[in-house]
């Protein structure tokens, strides 16, 4: 039963076994922070703490699910399911539903995703007659978001001359009005946006001491992963809830703080010891994830940052292969290189696709990677683009469902009131919005009372509006008896949505229908799942909540063997045996937009640290000499971050000339260069694209390059080694890492070992050549 504690080292065991009091674990990547948090929860439960009294906050819901599963393995499913675990947003959305009436919200409030929020912002800017080039809706919305995350309400905004002045200086003097309108519209629509989930929680616990006391009592043990990336609003919630019992355990790594641009405050971690009494601080130093080369290279990067806590990270893992640095001509070539390297690694080491990840700084870089992977038939999955639930057709269906739950939901209404077309045009919609404002009601309420309100809409349009409202109400009646799946099937038929999509016979139209089928499949799973689950969750409202808060990562069923593609920001907390970090070029990474101050540059560097520390076994860094940016081919030069890595951890493989040489040798591995692209890349005036000459430093490094070779020298081998080997032994292989000897056969020079490698699986190696060490 206690056996799981043996999965921890000494240093990790201490925070797990400290039952009470505030504590912080600050430690580098891969040192087991998340594992500590997980096992600490299991330990608390074994010590008799009621799972109802434990709250764990994670970076993704997927991480929470995995943790819960792990805990369930130790303490049992029935106990584990009562834990409150999830992202800040999902946990507090749940709490707010129970207390919504106190804030004047319906308990079935809608959650606006960022798309809804941005659409609303954009609509308001338009309604106010403002210049959309000055008032850019994305910027305005991000300012609204930052206000909320700093708990600056509309009232607080107008009471603060400095803020007002700042907006005047920025030539958007009417920001405050937009903010006010935005907040009012959300409220009237019975909707909260993502930031509201935190802001309103703060409001709730500040305004209602009894509510605060209730949850302080409920959450006697609070645990937070990735604490370095909490924002002010999240910080205050954690602080308030943990104030009574002070059983708060946070884990994080200041070197991995990468969300300052979204308001995360690294001071939350730095000041933790000041915020609580008698804080126990723990350090973990041993990295279990990565090879020595990767750990030490990562250390050498972060050394360049001035603002950092002193930390040691080391590993007893093997050196592993050096980090490959590879230079290419264009992004298309970069894609081909990565795809072909993945292919080679797969073949050479018999690996599945899910052992590989490609990380990039910006989403746009995925295209070249996708093209190349597709050509090689390597299945992949992109995270972080539009989430499945944000695709137009899916969202249209969901909007009908949202209206059923909450007819006040303005964004949902706007999406579907005239889709499929019902002859309710934009002018009618504008009139409805004006009337809603006049009567201080939601749009749906105006429609319901269309005969009684003072509005200039003709009779036939009024009938159409009435029909629409009747249809929604008939769906509502059905919701009482039907489950989510049945209801949705009915809705897409009755609303003529399916017919509309079927009319469109294009490939795109077909794939839209497939997506809706996929949505229905998901609903069926949800309904089935609910039957097995404890609590009486399972209503349409709950389905919608899950969906609204699902990040792309959460939809990952984990049953697909695919290469993962994502931005570095999304990769936090994850790990992959083989990792490609692409586009390591100045102005791209570090990003041109994040080089104005040392702080910004340091955040970019931390981002690079996060990226590299995702790699378990082998990392590849690529850069190109030219790249299309904003539609133009521009010269690129290698990122300073490459130079910042201590050279001894790097292997500069074939750049230009030798690269062609290598490609000739392995011709079958390479695609024909895409000639159309090459032609395009010439600027119109006929001069060929120029490329930067490598710098002196670069040349010096390039001279040292060596071809990639698998057959390393066996000079270090201890003599008589083969004779000592027996089944059951754990060995280290220079490339494959750690594995267990399963079987031995043959004699002398023909002696072979069958080894089950952690990463590569079962392999048979000829001992004469195999580079093995007994662990």
Active site residues: 33-34, 225-226, 256, 614
Residues 754 and 742 sit within 8 Å (Cβ to Cβ): yes
In the complex, least distance from residue 287 CB atom to Mg ion, rounded to whole angstroms: 12
Is residue 9 part of the contact set for ligand ATP (CB under 6 A)?
yes
Closest distance to Mg ion from the beta carbon of 37 (Å) = 8
Site string for ligand ATP, 10-49 (x = CB under 6 A): --x--------------x-xxxxxxx--------------
Interatomic CA distance for residues 26 and 35, integer angstroms: 13
Contacts with ligand ATP, 251-290, as mask; x by CB under 6 A: --x--x-------------------------------xx-
Q: Which pair of structure tokens corresponds to residue 285?
A: 């130093």
Shortest separation between residue 33's beta carbon and ligand ATP, angstroms: 3
Look up residue 367 and give its two tokens.
């295209």
Query: Does 330 engage in binding with Mg ion (CB under 5 A)?
Result: no
Q: Does 565 bind ligand ATP (CB under 6 A)?
A: no
For the chain, the maximum distance between any two Cα atoms, rounded to a whole number of angstroms, is: 98
Residue closer to Mg ion (CB basis): 573 or 655: 573
Taking the C-alpha atoms of residue 12 and residue 288, their distance in angstroms, rounded to an integer, is 12
Residues 570-589 that bind Mg ion (CB under 5 A): 573
To the question of whether residue 538 is assigned a binding role by annotation, the answer is no
Task: Please give the DSSP secondary-structure letter assigned to residue 750.
Answer: G
Distance, CA of 524 to CA of 460 (rounded, Å): 39
- Tokens at 435, concatenated: 């009337």
CA angle 618, 624, 629 (to 5 degrees): 125
What is the distance, to the nearest Å, from the Cα of residue 569 to the centroid of all Cα atoms in its chain? 6
For residue 380, report the phi and psi dihedrals to the nearest 5 degrees.
-140, 165
Closest CB to ligand ATP among residues 71, 152: 71
What's the half-sphere exposure (Cβ side, CA atoms, 13 Å) at 187?
13
Beta carbon of residue 255, minimum distance to ligand ATP (angstroms, whole number): 9
29 appears as a binding residue in the annotation: yes
- Total residues at interface with ligand ATP (CB under 6 A): 19
User: Which of 31, 34, 87, 653 lies at the binding interface for Mg ion (CB under 5 A)?
Assistant: 34
Binding to ligand ATP (CB under 6 A): which residues in 399-428? Answer: none
Sequence-separated (6 or more) residues with CB below 8 Å from residue 124: 178, 181, 182, 185
Looking at beta carbons only, is 34 or 287 nearer to Mg ion?
Answer: 34
**Nearer to ligand ATP among residue 30 and residue 739 (C-beta):** 30
Terminal Cα-to-Cα distance of the chain (whole angstroms): 28
Part in contact with Mg ion (CB under 5 A); list of ranges 92-100, 556-564, 565-573, 724-732: 565-573
Asked whether residue 442 is marked as a ligand-binding residue, the answer is no
Q: How far is CA 285 from the centre of its chain?
A: 26
Report the alpha-carbon distance of residue 98 to residue 100 in Å, rounded. Answer: 6
Q: What residues contact residue 633 under an 8 Å CB cut-off, 6+ apart?
A: 626, 627, 681, 683, 689
- Residue 737 marked ligand-binding: no
The least distance separating ligand ATP from the CB of residue 309, rounded to whole angstroms, comes to: 14
Kindly tell me which of 32 and 737 has the beta carbon lying closer to ligand ATP.
32
Name which of residues 286 to 315 contact ligand ATP (CB under 6 A): 288-289
Please choose, from the candidates 37, 30, 39, the residue with its C-alpha nearest in 3D space to the C-alpha of residue 6.
39
Was 263 annotated as part of a binding site? Answer: no
Minimum CB separation of residue 732 from ligand ATP in Å reads: 15
| 493 marked among binding-site residues | no
Report the C-alpha gap between 91 and 110 in whole angstroms: 15
> Please, what is the Cα angle at 400 between 394 and 401, to 5 degrees?
90
- Of 71 and 328, which has the nearer Cβ to ligand ATP? 71
> Under rule CB under 6 A, which residues in 596-615 are in contact with ligand ATP?
613
| Binding site listing for ATP | 27-34
| Binding site listing | 27-34
Residues in touch with Mg ion (CB under 5 A) = 33-34, 573
Residues in touch with ligand ATP (CB under 6 A) = 7-9, 12, 27, 29-35, 253, 256, 288-289, 573, 575, 613
């Amino acid at each position: 039963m206690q056996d799981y504690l043996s999965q921890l080292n000494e240093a990790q065991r201490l925070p797990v076994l400290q039952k009470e009091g505030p504590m912080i674990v600050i430690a580098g990547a891969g040192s087991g922070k998340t594992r500590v948090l997980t096992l600490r929860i299991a330990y608390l439960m074994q010590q008799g703490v009621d799972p109802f009294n434990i709250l764990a906050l994670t970076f993704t819901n997927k991480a929470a699910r995995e943790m819960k599963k792990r805990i369930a393995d130790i303490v049992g499913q029935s106990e584990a399911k009562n834990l409150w675990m999830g992202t800040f947003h999902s946990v507090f959305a749940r709490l707010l539903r129970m207390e919504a009436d106190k804030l004047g919200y319906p308990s079935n409030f809608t959650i606006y995703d960022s798309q809804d929020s941005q659409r609303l912002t954009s609509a308001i800017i338009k309604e106010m007659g403002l210049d959309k080039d000055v008032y850019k809706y994305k910027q305005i919305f991000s300012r609204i978001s930052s206000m909320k995350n700093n708990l600056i309400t509309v009232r607080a905004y107008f009471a603060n001359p400095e803020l007002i002045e700042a907006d005047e200086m920025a030539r958007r003097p009417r920001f405050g009005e937009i903010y006010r309108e935005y907040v009012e519209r959300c409220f009237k629509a019975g909707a909260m946006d993502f930031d509201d989930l935190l802001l309103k929680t703060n409001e709730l616990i500040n305004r209602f001491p009894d509510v605060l006391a209730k949850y302080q009592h409920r959450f006697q043990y609070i645990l937070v992963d990735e604490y370095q990336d909490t924002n002010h609003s999240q910080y205050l919630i954690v602080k308030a809830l943990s104030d009574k019992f002070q059983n708060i355990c946070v884990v994080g790594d200041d070197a991995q703080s990468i969300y300052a641009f979204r308001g995360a405050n690294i001071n939350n971690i730095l000041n933790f010891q000041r915020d609580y009494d008698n804080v126990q601080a723990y350090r973990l130093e041993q990295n279990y994830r990565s090879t020595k080369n990767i750990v030490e290279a990562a250390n050498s990067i972060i050394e360049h940052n001035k603002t950092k806590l002193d930390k040691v990270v080391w590993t007893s893992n093997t050196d592993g292969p050096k980090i490959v640095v590879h230079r290419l001509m264009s992004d298309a070539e970069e894609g081909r290189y990565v795809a072909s390297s993945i292919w080679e690694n797969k073949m050479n080491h018999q690996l599945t696709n899910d052992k590989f990840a490609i990380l990039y700084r910006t989403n746009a870089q995925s295209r070249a990677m996708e093209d190349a992977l597709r050509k090689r038939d390597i299945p992949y999955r992109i995270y972080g683009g539009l989430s499945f639930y944000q695709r137009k057709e899916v969202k249209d269906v969901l909007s009908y469902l949202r209206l059923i739950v909450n007819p006040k939901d303005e964004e949902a209404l706007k999406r579907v009131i005239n889709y499929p077309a019902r002859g309710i045009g934009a002018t009618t919609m504008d009139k409805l919005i004006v009337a809603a404002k006049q009567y201080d009601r939601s749009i749906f309420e105006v429609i319901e009372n269309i005969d009684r309100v003072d509005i200039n809409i003709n009779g036939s349009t009024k009938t159409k509006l009435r029909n629409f409202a009747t249809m929604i109400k008939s769906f509502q009646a059905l919701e009482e008896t039907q489950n989510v799946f049945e209801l949705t099937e009915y809705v897409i038929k009755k609303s003529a949505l399916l017919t509309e999509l079927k009319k469109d016979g294009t490939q795109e139209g077909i794939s839209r229908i497939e997506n809706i089928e996929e949505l229905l499949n998901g609903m069926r799973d949800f309904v089935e799942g609910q039957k097995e689950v404890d609590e009486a969750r399972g209503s349409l409202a709950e389905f919608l909540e899950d969906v609204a808060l699902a990040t792309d990562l959460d939809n990952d069923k984990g049953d697909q063997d695919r290469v993962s593609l994502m931005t570095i920001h999304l990769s936090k907390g994850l790990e992959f045996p083989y990792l490609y970090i692409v586009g390591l070029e100045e102005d791209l990474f570090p990003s041109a937009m994040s080089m104005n101050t040392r702080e910004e540059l340091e955040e970019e560097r931390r981002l690079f640290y996060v990226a590299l520390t995702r790699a378990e076994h082998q990392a590849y860094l690529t850069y190109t000499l030219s790249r299309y940016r904003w539609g133009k081919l521009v010269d690129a030069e290698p990122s300073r971050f490459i130079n910042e890595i201590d050279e001894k951890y790097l292997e500069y493989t074939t750049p230009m000339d030798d690269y062609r040489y290598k490609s000739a040798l392995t011709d079958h591995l390479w695609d024909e260069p895409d000639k159309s692209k090459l032609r395009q890349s010439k600027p119109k005036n006929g001069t060929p694209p120029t490329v930067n000459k490598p710098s002196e430093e670069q040349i010096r490094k390039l001279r040292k390059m060596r071809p990639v070779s698998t057959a390393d020298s066996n000079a270090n081998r201890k003599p008589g080694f083969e004779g000592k080997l027996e089944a059951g032994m754990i060995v280290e292989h220079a490339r494959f890492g750690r594995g267990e000897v399963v079987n031995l056969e043959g004699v002398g020079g023909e002696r072979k070992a069958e080894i089950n490698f952690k990463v590569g699986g079962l392999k048979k190696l000829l001992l004469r050549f195999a580079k093995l060490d007994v662990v």
